Amino acid sequence: MAETNTAIEQGLAHEGAEVTGADAHVGVEHHAEPLFLGFAPPVAVVSASMIVLLAILVWKGVPRLVTGGLDAKIAEIKAQLAEAKTLRAEAEALRKEYADKIAGAEKDAAAMLEHARHEAEAIVAKAEKDTAEAVTRREKMAQDKIAAAELAAVTDLRNQAAAAAAAAAGRLIAANHSADADRALVDQAIAGI
- 188: pLDDT confidence band, cut at 50, 70 and 90? confident
Question: How would DSSP label each residue in 90-150?
Answer: HHHHHHHHHHHHHHHHHHHHHHHHHHHHHHHHHHHHHHHHHHHHHHHHHHHHHHHHHHHHH
The pLDDT, as a whole number, for residue 180 is 74
Tell me how far apart the alpha carbons of residues 171 and 164 are, in angstroms, rounded to a whole number.
Answer: 10
- Contact between 76 and 67 under an 8 Å Cβ cutoff? The reply is no
Query: What are the sequence ranges of the domains in the chain?
Result: 41-136
Question: How would DSSP label each residue in 6-58?
Answer: HHHHHHHHHHHHHHHHHHHHHH----PPP-BTTTB-HHHHHHHHHHHHHHHHH
**Stretch among 1-5, 43-47, 130-134 having the lowest mean pLDDT:** 1-5
pTM of the predicted protein model: 0.35
- 59: pLDDT confidence band, cut at 50, 70 and 90? confident
- Contact between 121 and 128 under an 8 Å Cβ cutoff? The reply is no
Q: How does pLDDT run across 162-186, given as a tens digit for each residue?
A: 888 888 887 877 777 667 777 777 7
Look at residue 5 and give its three-state secondary structure.
Answer: helix
Share of residues in the chain with pLDDT > 90 (%): 42
- Contact between 45 and 36 under an 8 Å Cβ cutoff? The reply is yes
CA distance to 87, 126, 166, 191, per residue, from 121 (Å): 50, 9, 66, 82
SS (H, E, C) 39-50: CECHHHHHHHHH
Tell me how far apart the alpha carbons of residues 139 and 14 are, in angstroms, rounded to a whole number.
Answer: 163
The pLDDT, as a whole number, for residue 17 is 47
Q: How does pLDDT run across 92-130, given as a tens digit for each residue?
A: 999 999 999 998 999 999 999 999 999 999 999 999 999
